[in-house]
Structure 1
Amino acid sequence: MRLLSAFAALIALFGAVTPAQAEAMPQCGQVLTTNFTLMGDWGCGNGPALIVGANGVKINLNGHTLSGTPAISMTDVDGTTIRNGTIPSNIVADNATNTRFVDMAIGQPSPNATYLWNGTTSVTFVRSKLDMWRFNCGARCHLLRSKFSMNQIGAKTLVIQGDQGQPNLVNFVGAVEADVVNTRLNAFSIGGSERLTIRDSELDGFEVIATGRLELLRNTFSGGNWVGVHRPVNGVVRGNRFEKMRSAGLFVDPKETLTGPLVIERNTFAENVGDGLRIDVPVPLDITVRKNTSENNGQFGMWATAGTVTDGGKNVSNNDALGCYTIVCA
């Protein structure tokens, strides 16, 4: 009884310890060297909000908004995790490796922000929403099951996988090596200077900017001007559907000789205003066309400059306005 009375007296004197008091609100420019949980919305105007000063720091925004100039700064640190909140302002990252953003909204409501992350910075976004004007991820960038809307995104290595079932909007996607997997994407152009792989995805028509290895596998391309391959490439275009384009479905017209070979096989070209497949090259190139189907295209089902491609056989044209040209179609 005396113990309980003493405890009650302490509570009366100092007050009960609440969760909000268990971890104080930060100071602007606070350097974090241990894990941190934000207990309310926090902004620092024209100054930095939080600075990550050690490896492996975990920041839980706890459903709140963090803002500042920048909101978070990470330099020469590894393994930072930021989760469960909103950051409407910029984030500085320089040689910040293995950074993770989980269940975050970044760039709202200021979608015109520019994020230029430098050096060996590498970052993964999981189940997050990004609204930005320009985003350079640095060395490596993974967008996993996330939603994004931006003008440009780029990294040395870029992986986009899954998008919560809604279209992602971007004008230009660029990288040295780029992978787009199981994603709905509305892009004006997309490229990988050494390798570009797009598979199991739904995309509007766009220009492919690739000068090395190109792999287009089991995608649906629909509704744009065309899917244009205008650079010298090698690789495979297999199992895709090119439909309802305002011009050709797939338009291959590299201005230089392919490093080759390029195989175009088992694709469907359907209901395009122009040709289903158009290969317009000035010199013989190492391109093989085989086992494709064209149907209901406004001009040729499959068209190629005479003598420029290898006809691998078993191509089929159904109800195209002009059949096929130089490619034999059943």
Structure 2
Amino acid sequence: MIRLSRKLSSRWFAAVGATTLFGVLAPAPAAHAAPLSCGQTVTTSVVLTADLINCPGDGLVVGRAGITINLNGHTVDGVGLGVGIRNDGFGNATITNSSSAPAQVQQFDYGVRLNPGTAGNIVEKLTIHSNEFAGVELNGAHLNNRIRGNVIDRQAHRGVTVIGGSGSSVIADNTISNNQNLGVFVQKSANNRVEANRITGSGGAGLVLESSTGSTLLANTIGSSRDGAILLLLGSNGNLVQGNSATQSADAGMIVSDSTGNRLLSNNLHANGDSGIVLQSAHSNTVTGNDVSRNTGGLELSSANNNVIHSNIANNTTGNGISLGLSTGNNLQLNQANQNGSRGIYIVGDATPGAGNQLVRNTTNTNQGDGIHVSKSGQTIQGNIARDNKSWGVYADLGNIDGGGNQASNNGQAAQCMRVVCTP
């Protein structure tokens, strides 16, 4: 059994301390209460004593490494321009709130923006809302930036954006809600960790990796996106997507497109507008232990080759539990595809001898169509169970390989199986 820890890994949250890539910093002076003005460059640790209202450009600008800006329950408010709190490359700065009252950053182009060269920053405990392009953006920021414990709500575009080669940062334990475009968008950036966020009500997709590699998406909860819940697109290779849940998205629970070598493990994807997991031109991925029940389809592969599809649950969909179209070399083992509105497992498309899909020890019971339907040729069917289906237990076209050990009983067709030998 795969265990998921809600405690974030220490290697991702280890303090950078007072070091940078270039040497040791002198410690910043202790924080002191101070009145600040809109657009001020802050060069010492401060605790705000008043709101900043209607800032015509930026709210505050980080001007030294290692400082802390404590909003202390106050608001930094703009007029739709600039950045609420901007850092143009200073390391180990902390933007936080020590008060029980919300510290709001609102009505800018960006709420908080970490620009190229920024490393080791912490952005935490803020309420960031009603900004234009993003609540928080990492643009070329790298190495151990941590965006954690914030409420990021109602941006006109995206909640959190990670772009421009921003790497090895953590987006964790945030509530990211009601943003009019994407909840979290990671583009052309590597080795980031998106963990334990609550992403709801996105106007587009909930969580998107685009051309991004080596990242971990762990234990996020995604609901009511107006597009798919989790998307891995355009060369998002070698990522781990584990223990996430997604419900009531308008499109699929998870889409992997033109991306390879990803591991999709133990995700729960239910009640979405399309299939639970869709692989499109996505090769050599591992899809194991996911529950994709109660969607319009369970697992759907299209022109997707050499994937491992093991021990998934694809029950109670309104369509097919598992479907493969024009896909070869996939290994399907120990999956459940029961009580679906159409077929349990459906495969269409020829394969050359030795390059077909392997269907081994899957369970396909009580479906409204066939338990297993293999159209065309070149597939291997071995050790599967098909009982109580409305039509065939197993139906195979000419040219497929009977690997033996298939079992079928009480199916709608008296012969139970076509072109495959089945025992009761």
Bucket of the pairwise TM-score, normalised by the shorter protein: 0.7 to 0.9
For residue 199 of structure 1, the aligned residue among 263, 270, 288 is 288
Distance in 1 separating the partners of 2:389 and 2:343: 9
Residue 137 of structure 1 aligns to a residue whose secondary structure is strand
Offset at residue 320 of structure 1 (A): 1.2
- Residue 183 of structure 1: aligned partner: 267
Distance in 2 separating the partners of 1:271 and 1:128: 37
Offset at residue 254 of structure 1 (A): 2.2
Task: Work out whether residues 233 and 258 of structure 1, in 8 Å CA contact, stay in contact via their aligned partners in 2.
Answer: no
Offset at residue 291 of structure 1 (A): 0.9
Offset at residue 257 of structure 1 (A): 5.3
More helix by share: 1
Distance in 2 separating the partners of 1:36 and 1:19: 12
Offset at residue 19 of structure 1 (A): 6.8
The unaligned stretches of length 5 or more in structure 1 are: 1-13
- The residue type equivalent to 1:30 in the other structure is R
Deviates more, 1:51-60 or 1:139-148: 51-60
Q: CA, structure 1 residues 168+240, in 2 after alignment: closer, same or farther (shift >3 Å)?
A: farther
Distance in 1 separating the partners of 2:123 and 2:390: 56
Distance in 1 separating the partners of 2:354 and 2:122: 48
- Residue 30 of structure 1: aligned partner: 86
1:174 paired to 2:243: no
Q: Deviations over 1:68-89 (max 9, x none)?
A: 3322222222122111112123
Q: CA, structure 1 residues 235+247, in 2 after alignment: closer, same or farther (shift >3 Å)?
A: same
The unaligned stretches of length 5 or more in structure 2 are: 1-33, 35-44, 50-67, 77-82
- Residue 315 of structure 1: aligned partner: 406
Q: 5 Å matches for 1:92-103? A: 92=161, 93-103=163-173
Residue 244 of structure 1 aligns to a residue whose secondary structure is coil
- The residue type equivalent to 1:126 in the other structure is E
Q: Deviations over 1:55-102 (max 9, x none)?
A: 43332422x312333222222221221111121232332211122111
Task: Work out whether residues 42 and 66 of structure 1, in 8 Å CA contact, stay in contact via their aligned partners in 2.
Answer: yes
Q: 5 Å matches for 1:77-156? A: 77-79=141-143, 80-88=145-153, 89=155, 90=158, 91-92=160-161, 93-106=163-176, 108-110=177-179, 112-113=181-182, 116-131=185-200, 132=202, 133-134=204-205, 135-138=207-210, 139-140=212-213, 141-149=215-223, 150=225, 151-152=227-228, 153-155=231-233, 156=236
Q: CA, structure 1 residues 303+236, in 2 after alignment: closer, same or farther (shift >3 Å)?
A: same
Residue 195 of structure 1 aligns to a residue whose secondary structure is coil
1:276 paired to 2:371: yes
- The residue type equivalent to 1:137 in the other structure is L
- The residue type equivalent to 2:368 in the other structure is V
Q: CA, structure 1 residues 195+273, in 2 after alignment: closer, same or farther (shift >3 Å)?
A: same
Q: CA, structure 1 residues 145+130, in 2 after alignment: closer, same or farther (shift >3 Å)?
A: same
- The residue type equivalent to 2:93 in the other structure is N
Report the aligned-residue RMSD.
2.8
- Residue 76 of structure 1: aligned partner: 140
Task: Work out whether residues 94 and 121 of structure 1, in 8 Å CA contact, stay in contact via their aligned partners in 2.
Answer: no
Distance in 1 separating the partners of 2:264 and 2:248: 12
Distance in 1 separating the partners of 2:286 and 2:278: 10
1:297 paired to 2:389: yes
Task: Work out whether residues 222 and 245 of structure 1, in 8 Å CA contact, stay in contact via their aligned partners in 2.
Answer: yes
For residue 208 of structure 1, the aligned residue among 301, 310, 314 is 301
Offset at residue 261 of structure 1 (A): 3.7
Distance in 2 separating the partners of 1:60 and 1:182: 30
Q: Deviations over 1:182-237 (max 9, x none)?
A: 11113525115222321112113242235221211111111220021002221311
Q: Deviations over 1:127-149 (max 9, x none)?
A: 11223313532313432111123
Equivalent pairs: percent with the same residue?
Answer: 13
- The residue type equivalent to 1:182 in the other structure is S
For residue 42 of structure 1, the aligned residue among 94, 104, 126 is 104
1:59 paired to 2:122: yes
Q: CA, structure 1 residues 258+174, in 2 after alignment: closer, same or farther (shift >3 Å)?
A: farther
Residue 245 of structure 1 aligns to a residue whose secondary structure is coil
Distance in 2 separating the partners of 1:124 and 1:304: 44
